[in-house]
Amino acid sequence: MLDDTSNTFTYTYIYFISMKNTIGTRIIETAFNFSVWLIAKCSDMDPLEKKADELRKLPEETLGRGIADCLDTHGLRLVKGFESHDLKHVLLGYKMTPIDEVRMQAFMLGNGNYTLPCFAILWFGMIFLPGSWPVFYRDFLLGRSTVPVSRWTIEACAHRNLTKLQEIIGCKQVRENTITLKAISRFGAFAAIGAGIFGMLFCFSFLFSSNMADLVGAGFPFVGGAILASGGLIALSNLSRKHASAQVV
């Protein structure tokens, strides 16, 4: 009887996680498509259309041609602010799917891209895709062992051979195993962000209570969590300024 109960609980948990991942995938896809649509509506698309046409004229083996082919295959266009995002999809081999969007941000976080959009998309994915946490962690570790690519741009790389660029970023960086002040600072920043966001999420539901005691009791921790998370982001931003970026020759 105990084994049957245990198996029932296991199957129920797996089913719940799979359903949550399916719903989460749809939410992420809808949110991402809406964001891209809104940016496109508010931007002058003519220069980006011209840039896309120039990419289509490049030789097939180049990164720029790969970006153009990828966009055409999925019926997408270059969008202001997303050019480097499309570059990384082709360069790193991540598909244009919701889960791969989050996976790529996990990779980029490990790769040293400490930006607000990167954190936002990754946290969004971790909330709605809990069953994919191990995959995100592996991508994070892969990003840590790969040459930094966060500052690579279409203008600098479009004409380069895609295969050779992928060979370059596949080179392992030599990392010291000793604990340094920078490593401690980075760990503290991540811990502050995690603790701050957890505190905000925990207190969020109490902010809608009609009980004044609940409002006061949840309000101060919520603000404190926001300050803690903001402080962690600022610390990571300062660390990223000192992060060595690879130069594409």
Q: For 92-144, write each residue's pLDDT tens digit.
A: 999 888 889 899 999 999 898 888 888 888 888 888 887 788 888 899 989 98
> For the whole prediction, is pTM greater than 0.75?
no
Maximum mean pLDDT: which of 85-94, 108-117, 191-200, 206-215: 85-94
Q: Which amino acid is at 233?
A: L
Spatial distance between the Cα atoms of 92 and 139, rounded to a whole number of angstroms: 11
Q: For 161-171, write each residue's pLDDT tens digit.
A: 999 998 888 74
Token pair for 195: 């603790």
The string over 221-239, giving b where at least 16 C-beta atoms fall within 10 Å of a residue's C-beta and e elsewhere, is: ebeebeebbeebbebbeee
Q: How far, rounded to the nearest angstrom, does the alpha carbon of residue 209 sit from its chain's CA centroid? A: 33
